[in-house]
Structure 1
């Protein structure tokens, strides 16, 4: 009797869950976005005129935590490729792997299954569209460094005779328009619309395949973009193209949180987090209006070892990050060729530099960007009391955020592979 009762409960449980299968699935990756980033963003976004520190969209949508380690052959700290492969396939692999297992054999991704089921599929990212994360959902390769091969695979490799991706939005001109092959022309001949300016996204015909490339490789930093809401713009355009009666699967990546972490650049990091937060806020409303949609966001890993508070000061001062007129990288680029470095830096940072800070710029004797970028970032670190432990990745657990149909399945502590496995279950549960 006990066994029968257990079996009956299991069947009933599966039956209830099976009816809770979303039509549309939006997976999001905040690349490099460990917990310190969402905490820092709460303080950065805080209204200083009120006594409390207000919640952000990340706080509202938080449901769990996830471990991030790759297959043991690569140790305990993942790269973006192995992290994305775990999130796309539910399988641990080695660092550098793109949608393949440790034997370099292709493994089906959640996006590919969605395509097989008749859903439309897409990626909207601020990196190049053949970068590690989008590639791990829509391609298979033994190395993330094989950028041209990955770009080619988007055209050459088919699922049930169809292109794997109906919508591709991000950067990547140099990989898709090459001397040996012009993939843009090939996609256009195959029926895809093509745009190369964000402003053109509002004019494309809906419901048709779309390729949009907006930079040579990764898109400009949010701080340097003419449209500083670039990720919401990409997201809205992708969803407009993908919506249909059969449903869709969309991967969205805030790619450059990670790049800011690698550069130990807190100014760009907070601007990239704001770009992602605006996207999430729009998606909150979209899901309220489209309750048959699931959104799940996590990070592949954390980058930079971001520390809120440095040198034992027991303080963090994000107000110094709020008036930047350009990214530290762009400020550094302009400093290379000007004589009055202090005046230019003060103008673009939005505050007057001290003589000591100006001296730190004047002593640089280089015509390369990196020393200036690093010097500007160091000034912002000093002003804000920001610390960093590395220019690489760390092995900490990351957060899971979810909303919509099926979101209850992502609560608690999961391994990153369990996120993909749960998405597979939700795809297969659809009636």
Structure 2
């Protein structure tokens, strides 16, 4: 007797999901008519590379490729590519989204205006997937390299009309409760100045409620408590390539958060953001952008490693938008040369600050750029430092890397193209194909078995 189409599709689907480098979902898959259902994952790790358009992944693939091999090597993301998502906002003045509107869409399943933090166009609060997870008794966490009150993490755990009001966001983290409990169990990132203030010390208030506080990499490693606030810079963390040993990497913060949250018998929801891919794109800084891509990739791999061992964790990674109009190849050259980016030891920002504090221009460039420079390149930096200040000096250094690598940029703002979606674990195929950013939240609500006040369109 011939095999039914449904069973053939099921076998094809299961085979695809057991290929090398992916998590086996066959055990979680069952036939249901022409559809497939999945057991609800106990844990969800949602990673957002802020500004990580597909061109950033492509450039990073070139950068980390081993030239000795015959084919271009995959990034850690590539085996888990599941689909693409659209990113537009519902803003009367701008259809290209900012991080706040995009995060609100992915956190709550609603389109809204730019600058909104988990509020609809009428400024009413909308439930987020983190809040739904907490209502089910799950442990929750936010891990970022920006301020913990920045737009993306805020949209999962606060409700504020304007993303710029980061003090109100910080207050919301403490004041707004779910069934009397704090929404966030683990909070890691920057933003000391926003939680430890002259008018209110939220760290002390959290400590009164049983939280620990850490502010260095050493303290993060030594502390074992389940509920903890970790703030490692006054505002955003330094770019990954510029960090000192006292500042943890995104992967280290992610691993620490997972270890704490996974103790909860009801499971956990963790939001991880590689925040400063976006900041580098705004600055048109290819060195910083690739540094942050590496930092985010390591955090993604940390989540995948846990999910593979755990077997009951859904991992999703995507971007909120792209930024900068990055082109992998520019000025008519059919060659993106990552050698100059690969050998950089610090970002142009770091190098410019060193020069403007009195360091010799050529010695500083030689120390941190890692390639032999032309006299005209050194002269351009020297002139900018002598007469035009930080921004011009930074731009002159960035121009060296752009010219050498054939990197192009079209804007210092966001761009509106679709962005990739990567997923692994129970429910992975729910995110396949082309979806909207609001679909992320809608599908997460369903996987959580939570009722959300959203309308499917």
- TM-score bracket for this pair, using the shorter chain length: over 0.9
2:283 matches 1:263? yes
- How far apart, CA to CA, are the structure 2 residues paired with 1:111 and 1:384? 41
Determine the structure 2 residue equivalent to 1:226. 244
1:281-430 superposed matches below 5 A: 281-338=301-358, 340-364=360-384, 365-366=386-387, 368-428=389-449
Deviations along 1:289-323, one digit per CA (max 9) or x if unpaired, are 11100011110000100000110011110011112
Greater shift in the superposed pair: 259-268 or 174-183: 174-183
- How far apart, CA to CA, are the structure 2 residues paired with 1:65 and 1:128? 28
Match of residue 180, structure 2, among 161, 164, 181: 161
1:52 Cα deviation from its structure 2 partner: 1.5
- How far apart, CA to CA, are the structure 2 residues paired with 1:87 and 1:209? 25
Greater shift in the superposed pair: 146-155 or 68-77: 68-77
- How far apart, CA to CA, are the structure 1 residues paired with 2:250 and 2:183? 22
- How far apart, CA to CA, are the structure 2 residues paired with 1:16 and 1:250? 26
Determine the structure 1 residue equivalent to 2:20. none
Determine the structure 1 residue equivalent to 2:204. 185
2:238 matches 1:217? no
TM-score, normalised on structure 2? Answer: 0.89
Greater shift in the superposed pair: 69-78 or 236-245: 69-78
Greater shift in the superposed pair: 127-136 or 220-229: 220-229
Matched residue SS, 2:141? strand
Cα pair distance change 1:232/1:72, threshold 3 Å: same
Kept after mapping to 1: 8 A contact 2:87/2:96: yes
1:116-155 superposed matches below 5 A: 116-155=135-174
1:282 Cα deviation from its structure 2 partner: 2.3
CA RMSD of aligned residues (A): 1.8
- How far apart, CA to CA, are the structure 2 residues paired with 1:155 and 1:368? 41
Deviations along 1:175-195, one digit per CA (max 9) or x if unpaired, are 011111111111111110000
Matched residue SS, 2:155? helix
Aligned residues: 419
Determine the structure 2 residue equivalent to 1:5. none
- How far apart, CA to CA, are the structure 2 residues paired with 1:323 and 1:314? 21
Kept after mapping to 2: 8 A contact 1:229/1:278: no
Kept after mapping to 2: 8 A contact 1:28/1:253: yes
2:42 matches 1:23? yes
Greater shift in the superposed pair: 60-69 or 224-233: 224-233
1:13 Cα deviation from its structure 2 partner: 5.6
Determine the structure 2 residue equivalent to 1:39. 58
Which runs of 5 or more residues in structure 2 are unaligned?
A: 1-29, 452-457
1:12 Cα deviation from its structure 2 partner: 3.6
Cα pair distance change 1:260/1:246, threshold 3 Å: same
Cα pair distance change 1:22/1:74, threshold 3 Å: farther
1:337 Cα deviation from its structure 2 partner: 2.8
Kept after mapping to 2: 8 A contact 1:78/1:395: yes
1:98 Cα deviation from its structure 2 partner: 0.2
1:283 Cα deviation from its structure 2 partner: 2.1
Deviations along 1:196-225, one digit per CA (max 9) or x if unpaired, are 00221111124x211000001100100111
Matched residue SS, 1:273? helix
Kept after mapping to 2: 8 A contact 1:70/1:94: yes
Cα pair distance change 1:229/1:401, threshold 3 Å: farther
Kept after mapping to 1: 8 A contact 2:217/2:248: no
Which runs of 5 or more residues in structure 1 are unaligned?
A: 1-9
1:409 Cα deviation from its structure 2 partner: 0.4
- How far apart, CA to CA, are the structure 2 residues paired with 1:199 and 1:74? 46
